[in-house]
Amino acid sequence: MIKRVLYFGSDSYIHTRKEQLLVEFTDKEKQSASIPIEDIGVVILDAPQMTVSRAVMSKMLENNVAIIVCNEKHLPKGLMLNLESNSIQQEHFRNQINATEPLKKSLWQQTIKYKIKNQALLLQSLGITAEKLRFWFEKVKSGDPENVEGRAAAYYWQNIYSDIIEKFRRRRTGNEPNNLLNYGYAVLRATVAREIVGSGLLPTLGIHHHNRYNAYALADDIMEPYRPFVDWIVRDIVEKYYNDEWVDSGFNLSPPIKKELLKIPLIDVVIEGKTHPLSIAVRHTTASLAECFAKTKRKIAYPRFEPYSID
């Protein structure tokens, strides 16, 4: 079942009754809403004055809803997840904790190769030469000790917006559309983290990322091959809205642009030869990762980038 992504940007009171999420807005001109909690996948809380009852937080977590809280700049700041969403969680935890270094290096090699492959396919779809990326794809070794990922990324970012933005540089705090990429990646990260937990794995224990302060290191690992799908949506937004008055064109994460970015979990992707919404594809990926940790499978299932029509 495809789960909904809900964004709350207006002051409101959110509570629950009879397995429904009930929303009452401070602005009385806005109509109250009722949504089945079982239909929700991700909730983004971005209003300065809103109240969310403990009961509704508990209900959402019980239904494995990923809850994102935004800061005063309207950027995602925190993420809440259920940690009891799999019936054989302890077994999965044990397999993950006991994963050997060779296994983790092999999984990281697969992950980076899929990321570079998808980056190459995206550039190719834009009519940009991707020969260097295809060359580097073949050079990725177990654990990527030579950081081929970094070299591929440098070329990729130099070219993806080159025809419409002069000298674009990918930085978290850089000029637009870096803010759009950050927001899109946060939505993707929450989607991946939700499915990691649903597959009975610990999002904290990564196969490559290992910053001691990163509670979602595994999500940061597994989302890598999915990033080009976000880049594609942002590229489409830039083409739609870009003009000489950059700031006035809506790149301050205006509601229409946020609406575009919230489609990320719903876009169609191809994985294992079949088309699924991205959120379902992520579920296939995390389930296959659990099987790799259990040593019943050797390869992670990742999607292949294919251009699609963005409404």
CA dihedral 230, 233, 239, 245 (to 10 degrees): -60
CB 170 within 8 A of CB 228: no
pTM for the structure as a whole: 0.87
Tell whether the model's pLDDT for residue 309 goes beyond 90. no
Report residue 247's pLDDT band, with 50, 70 and 90 as the boundaries: very low
Tokens found for residue 240: 């739609």
For residue 149, the number of C-alpha atoms closer than 13 Å in the C-beta half-sphere is 18
Mean pLDDT score of the chain: 89
Nearest residue to 305 (alpha-carbon basis) of 223, 235, 228, 231: 228
Residues in the chain, overall count: 311
Report residue 193's pLDDT band, with 50, 70 and 90 as the boundaries: very high
Tell whether the model's pLDDT for residue 139 goes beyond 60. yes
User: Could you tell me what percent of the chain has a pLDDT over 70?
Assistant: 94
Mean pLDDT value across residues 177-201 = 93
> What is the maximal distance between C-alpha atoms in the chain?
60
Collapsed DSSP state (helix, strand, coil) of residue 171: coil
CB 21 within 8 A of CB 40: yes
Residue ranges of the domains in the chain? 4-80, 89-304
| d(C-alpha 145, C-alpha 81), whole Å | 32
Strand partners, 40: 4
Per-residue pLDDT reduced to its tens digit, 105-120 = 999 999 999 999 999 9
Task: For domain 4-80, give the fold.
Answer: Ribosomal Protein L15; Chain: K; domain 2 (3.100.10)
Neighbours of 2 (CB within 10 A): 13
Tell whether the model's pLDDT for residue 249 goes beyond 50. no
Which residues in 88-173 belong to E strands, given as ranges? none
Report residue 250's pLDDT band, with 50, 70 and 90 as the boundaries: very low
3-state percent helix, strand, coil for the chain, nearest multiple of 5: 45, 15, 40
Helical packing angle, 178-198 and 278-293, nearest 10°: 50
Per-residue pLDDT reduced to its tens digit, 55-112 = 999 999 999 899 999 888 787 888 888 877 656 778 889 999 999 999 999 999 999 9
Q: What is the CATH number of domain 89-304?
A: 1.20.120.920
| d(C-alpha 230, C-alpha 261), whole Å | 8
> Given this model, what pLDDT does residue 173 score?
85
Query: CA gyration radius for the chain?
Result: 20
Report residue 275's pLDDT band, with 50, 70 and 90 as the boundaries: very high
3-state SS track over 248-309: HHCCCCCHHHHHHHCCHHHCEEEECCEEEEHHHHHHHHHHHHHHHHCCCCCCCCCEECCCCC
Strand duo 4-8 + 40-45: pairing: parallel
CB 74 within 8 A of CB 251: no
> Given this model, what pLDDT does residue 215 score?
81
Which residues in the chain belong to E strands, given as ranges? 4-8, 12-17, 20-25, 33-36, 40-45, 50-52, 66-70, 76-80, 268-271, 274-277, 303-304
DSSP 8-class letter at 3: P
Dihedral sign computed on CA atoms, order 211, 41, 195, 225 = negative
Strand partners, 68: 44, 79
| d(C-alpha 141, C-alpha 143), whole Å | 6
